[in-house]
Amino acid sequence: MRRTVRELRADQGPDRIWLRNLVRRVLVKATGKLWQLAGYPGEVLSDIPRIAEVGFVSRPRAGKGEAIVLKVGEKGHRVIIATRDGEIELDIDEDETAIFNSQVRVICKNDGTVHIDNGSGAEALATKADLQAVVDWLETHIHPDPSSGNTGTPTTTPPSPDGTTVLMGK
């Protein structure tokens, strides 16, 4: 018979106690370099370090996040190995990666593009070449009668930026 993790945690037999202590989810109550977490009812875990991926740091909003805590070694030192904030999860496709918080998201799409936005959608961004084309046009465009002071509409059409096909933003 298959048992749920909750049922296994409730089983306090000697062959099951290791599971309760191995991994548990807890609500993040306080933040800092060493975190304070609320575990099982009435349990407070203090000074728990977060082990994060190289070059990446994140921290859930106070009172909104969950953490997975691993007890390691004979003395059962606790270490946070993963966190999440279920209120701001993103639904991404296979082979996609996202970095996000409650205000901004960066999604590396499986088509090779990168989308950066505030949740309202992403559009192609102008490239350096697009901007240079606008500068060149501004420096060289001609008006129909510049000597009269009534310059009117330029006789040449301003460039239309192509935008990048890789980086999208808002």
Q: For residues 86 and 52, is the Cβ–Cβ distance under 8 A?
A: no
CA nearest to 67, candidates 78, 77, 56, 54: 78
- Mean of pLDDT values over 16-42: 62
Domain ranges in the chain? 5-87, 90-170
pLDDT at 14 > cutoff 70: no
Instruction: Give residue 2's pLDDT.
Output: 65
> In the structure, what pLDDT confidence band is assigned to residue 20 with cuts at 50, 70 and 90?
low
- Rounded Cα–Cα distance for residues 81 and 66 (Å): 11
Instruction: Give residue 111's pLDDT.
Output: 92
- Rounded Cα–Cα distance for residues 36 and 49 (Å): 9
CA-based angle 8:9:12, to the nearest 5? Answer: 90
Query: Mind listing the pLDDT tens digit for each residue in 83-120?
Result: 777 788 788 899 998 888 888 888 899 999 888 888 77
Which class does domain 5-87 fall in? mainly beta
Residues of the chain above pLDDT 90, percent: 4
Burial class (CB in 10 A: 0-12, 13-18, 19+), 81: middle
Instruction: Give residue 11's pLDDT.
Output: 58
**Of the listed ranges 6-10, 52-56, 92-96, the one predicted with least confidence:** 6-10
